[in-house]
Amino acid sequence: NAGVTQTPKFRVLKTGQSMTLLCAQDMNHEYMYWYRQDPGMGLRLIHYSVGEGTTAKGEVPDGYNVSRLKKQNFLLGLESAAPSQTSVYFCASSRDPTLAYEQYFGPGTRLTVT
Amino acid sequence: AQSVTQLDSHVSVSEGTPVLLRCNYSSSYSPSLFWYVQHPNKGLQLLLKYTSAATLVKGINGFEAEFKKSETSFHLTKPSAHMSDAAEYFCVVSEANQAGTALIFGKGTTLSVSS
């Protein structure tokens, strides 16, 4: 049982390049989330999904797109990377959060945009 | 809308002394509250959660937190700090009435433990 995994762990992009971050979970969770973590800001929600085939915007969605084609995977895309997107990205999954089930986090992806 | 305020961005203690990390929340409804810990270059791990059962919640590694509705607080404590407790701690709120809403994180408190 691997929990939540993220690929890649590190990436350096040039401004304007694109990339996709992959998140996978093996706990059969319905809900999945993408956060970014910046110094002194805590974690901020980018997008989330309440089930296969669904996505929704979080607090800071601009410049990102997501897809949830399979229940176990949640992809985060950057179409045209900007230096402001330099951050650490965390994926998480959970059962129904309205019932106070905790979120399980992946190890993070450190992205640098030059 | 709900929000979370962690009152200290950095707390320093000596090994063996008590730890207090303070958190206040704002919520229109009965909230669920969590404390997560993040060790350097690691993901986040759940320490404990409050879900309207007992107001004193015990978590892993000797941590506990007390929910005080009158003070809208959910402070995290530990009687005796250990070097391995050095990490960043996040207080988090979730409102049960908003289906699909993700957690709202505080900005974090960095705990330093000296020998």
Looking at residue B100, what is its pLDDT? 53
B96 at A interface, C-beta within 8 A: yes
Sort strands B64-68 and B73-78 into parallel, antiparallel or unpaired: antiparallel
Identify the residue among B6, B67, B94 best suited for mutation to test binding to A, counting A beta carbons within 10 A and taking the highest: B94
Rg (CA), chain B: 14
B105 at A interface, C-beta within 8 A: yes
Looking at residue B54, what is its pLDDT? 82
Lowest-pLDDT range of A20-34, A73-87, A96-110:
A96-110
Sort strands A87-94 and A31-38 into parallel, antiparallel or unpaired: antiparallel
Looking at residue B52, what is its pLDDT? 75
Give the one of B34, B43, B106 whose C-beta lies nearest to A107's C-beta.
B43
Residue in the structure block whose two tokens are 């049982």: A1
Rg (CA), chain A: 13
Backbone angles phi, psi at A27, to 5 degrees: -105, 5
Sort strands B3-6 and B23-26 into parallel, antiparallel or unpaired: antiparallel
| Rounded-to-integer distance, Cα A33 and Cα A14, Å | 25
- Give the residue ranges of chain B where pLDDT is below 50: 97-99
